[in-house]
Amino acid sequence: MSLRGPLARVLGRGSAKQGVHEWWLQRLTSIALVPLAVGFAVSLLTLPALDYATLVGWVRHGGTALGLLLFVLVAARHSQLGVRVVIEDYVHASGLKTLALVATNFAHALAAAAAVFAILKVALGGHL
Amino acid sequence: MPERPLSPHLSVYKFKYTLATSILNRFAGLGLSLGFLLLVYWLVALAGGARAYAQARALLTLGIFKLVYVLLLAAFVYHLVAGIRHLIWDTGRGLERASVRRSAWVVATVSVVVTVIVAYWMLRPGAYAR
């Protein structure tokens, strides 16, 4: 005899309906990265030079700054999801797996934040 | 936790082009994740001012980095083309054996051609000399 009612027994047993969230995000970031990554690569590789003045001018251009911000944010998320799946697939020791997941998540957040800060600093900075 | 069969084991499958294109996409993705860190380093150096950038540039133009950039380029192009193939698969199209084989060839050919052309552009004499 249990004191739990029929509703309490059934709650939490079904799908949380979030199972495809990350699968979907990986697709969404993939689609976004097609134009963002190609645009970034073409824009960078067609620069006449890679000296400081040229690059600062490049990043300060509004279109470049916006494109760079979107690219690094979406790429960081896409990379985090991808590395996560690889770890989940190949690292089976549960402690090591958790450690690896925590480390890659932190690393991706740090990389994304540093990139965004750097882009904004160059794009909005006064001095050259 | 109950022992469940764990899917991706490189060692238990017969090596075929389907496995090759799939695992290459993963390696390319992982390579690009490392390349992303290089991009962040480069952006942070740029934000650090002319002097910091000059130091980073001296490092990033060492001869060995030519190889790094060509590998990153190959990974970028392959991951892009193979990724588009995956997106097409996600719509339920192109999953029959014949079309999988055909698209594997398309991915391989397009990747090699685009990589060679862009690598030639990147490494052309006098490129980005200033």
What number of other Cβ atoms are within 10 A of residue A71's Cβ? 23
The region, left, alpha or beta by phi > 0 then psi within -120 to 50, assigned to residue A99 is alpha
pLDDT at residue number A17: 75
Asked if A42 is an interface residue toward chain B (Cβ–Cβ < 8 A), one would say no
The CA distance from A75 to B118, in Å, is: 21
Asked if A86 is an interface residue toward chain B (Cβ–Cβ < 8 A), one would say yes
Q: What ipTM, to 2 d.p.?
A: 0.90
Interface test with B, best of A121, A127, A128 (most B CBs within 10 A): A121
Give rounded-to-5 percent helix, strand, coil for chain B.
75, 0, 25
Of B47, B83, B90, the CB nearest to A122: B47
pLDDT at residue number B16: 84
In degrees and rounded to multiples of 5, residue A76 shows phi and psi of: -65, -40
Whether pLDDT at B118 is above 90:
yes
Question: B37: which chain A residues are within 8 Å (Cβ-Cβ)?
Answer: 111
Q: Estimate to the nearest angstrom the gap between the alpha carbon of A120 and the chain centroid.
A: 18
pLDDT at residue number B1: 55
Which of A32-36, A109-113, B7-11, B19-23 is the least confident region?
B7-11
What number of other Cβ atoms are within 10 A of residue A120's Cβ? 15
Q: What is the pTM of this model?
A: 0.90
Q: Do B30 and A41 touch (CB under 8 A)?
A: no
